[in-house]
Amino acid sequence: MKIEILTRDVGKKAEILTYLKGLNGFRPEGGLFLAEGLEAEITDSYMLFTLTLPWLADNLNRRLFTVKPASFSTGFYEIECPQKIIVTCSARPLTRLVSSLDILEHLDLEAGEICGRIEKRWTSRDVSLSAHFEVIIQGGLAIVKVKFSPHFRESELHCRNAVSMVNLTEGLDLITPERENFHQPASMSPVVSTASAHIDEGVLEVFFNRSPGEIYFSETGDFQVDLPGRDNRIEISRKKENRVELELYLTEPWNTGDHFANLLSILKIKQLEISRIITGITLSPRDLMSQLGFIKDREFHVFKASPQGLEASYNIGRREMRIQGSINCEYINNSFELFKSMEEFTSRVMHFAV
């Protein structure tokens, strides 16, 4: 799938470049800006984005709408849509597509040609945004021109709300079977065990003198101790009245050494919390409950489960899952099992993700 978005509104250059900077593999190359699934040509008179990921096109497209005070009535706001979009993709079978079209202008089944329009509309109170998908298909290849047109005016909040609802994939889903990248892939944090404690400065002296890792001092006046094992560390910052705050991050607790459990007892840390957060994950309530063993929680959007000694909660509204567990510091060398079961549960969850 190839999505081309052209806009003459170069005033958004800074905002767009800031967004692009956060994408994977972002780099300038010649006169272009490249990122994974994106090529951007930004000149003084226009910005042209060529994308292969529909979810990225959706994110970018929403940023290209402008909400501005309505002329002669500045208490109200209206939406401006300067962007022009062309999508080139493989097409669904014509017989299936026909029923999805709102307007059918041409149909030649023998030649594999169809021409028509699909209309989509997103409304927030009085203001609405319409998307007109002009579809032409020949030889199994669809070319879709998307044109947005705003309607009426409202408060800024409702205008922005309408813009946030715009979804190109809603229309494209009817036209093309290429649905792989319609949704932004879920992002997963690493499994990490954390703990925090407040101790006296005197205890710190004992810890440092027996520390198994290297100690660093930063310009901010804090210490960091790198422990054995990948990314294992303790951050130590000084607080008021000779108190010290410790933050412990362990991604491989079982590699910290034999005596680390004793050190933790010096630091008065008895338990480690192990957690992972998965954002942007879409799961259907049916899969959640029948396949993954979740049950509905009292809170409206939340489902909960307790697999293999872990606690998992999924917020279907925010599309976010939090998996957590805890382990006693005495058995820190056995934490590998818990990490493993968390990975296993995560892979099961990802299997059912849409």
Partner 1 sequence: MLSEIMHFTGLLRRAGIRVSPGEVLDLTEALKLTGTDREGFLLAMEATIIKQESQIPALHSLFELYWDERGKSSGIFRPAQSLAPDPKMEPFLFQKRLDHLKNFIGNEKIRLSEKVVAAAMPGGMAGRGATGHGKNRPPEAMAAPEKFVSAILDGSEEKMRQLVKRALDGISEDSPRDSELHRQLRNISGWAEGEELLKKICESKTGPDRWAVLERLNRFSEIAAKEIDRRIWHHSHERVLSRLNAEETYFNRLDYDQSREIKRKLVRLGKSLAVKPGYRYAPSPSGKVDLRKTAALAGVHGGIPVKLLFRCRQPVKPEIVILCDLSGSVANFSRFMMLLVSAIQDRFRWARSFAFVDAVEEVTPMIRGWDAEKKISEILRNTGIWQTGFSDYGEVWRQFEEEYGGVVGPRTTLIILGDARNNYKPDGIDHFAGITRKAKKVIWLNPAPKDSWDREDGIMSKYATYCHSVFQCSNIKQLERVVRDVFF
Point out which residues bind partner 1 (CB under 8 A): 4, 6, 8, 43-46, 48, 84, 86, 104-108, 113, 115, 134, 136, 138, 143, 145
Distance, in Å, from the CA atom of 252 to the CA atom of 269, rounded to the nearest integer, reads 17
Name the residue nearer to partner 1 (CB basis): 83 or 193.
Answer: 83
CB 66 → partner 1: shortest distance, Å?
A: 17
Cα angle 52, 57, 58 (rounded to 5 degrees) comes to 140
Collapsed DSSP state (helix, strand, coil) of residue 48? strand
Closest CA to 113 of 141, 144, 146: 141
Name the residue nearer to partner 1 (CB basis): 50 or 184.
Answer: 50
Name the residue nearer to partner 1 (CB basis): 48 or 197.
Answer: 48
Closest CA to 331 of 275, 276, 280, 265: 265
CB 176 → partner 1: shortest distance, Å?
A: 15
Name the residue nearer to partner 1 (CB basis): 138 or 275.
Answer: 138
Distance, in Å, from the CA atom of 51 to the CA atom of 98, rounded to the nearest integer, reads 27
Burial class from Cβ neighbours inside 10 Å (0-12, 13-18, 19+) for residue 64 reads buried
- Tokens 């108190």 map to which residue? 243
Q: What is the phi/psi pair of residue 139, to 5°?
A: 60, 35
Name the residue nearer to partner 1 (CB basis): 98 or 353.
Answer: 98
CB 104 → partner 1: shortest distance, Å?
A: 5
Distance, in Å, from the CA atom of 50 to the CA atom of 208, rounded to the nearest integer, reads 54
CB 308 → partner 1: shortest distance, Å?
A: 52
CB 119 → partner 1: shortest distance, Å?
A: 17
Distance, in Å, from the CA atom of 123 to the CA atom of 164, rounded to the nearest integer, reads 10
CB 305 → partner 1: shortest distance, Å?
A: 48
Name the residue nearer to partner 1 (CB basis): 84 or 304.
Answer: 84
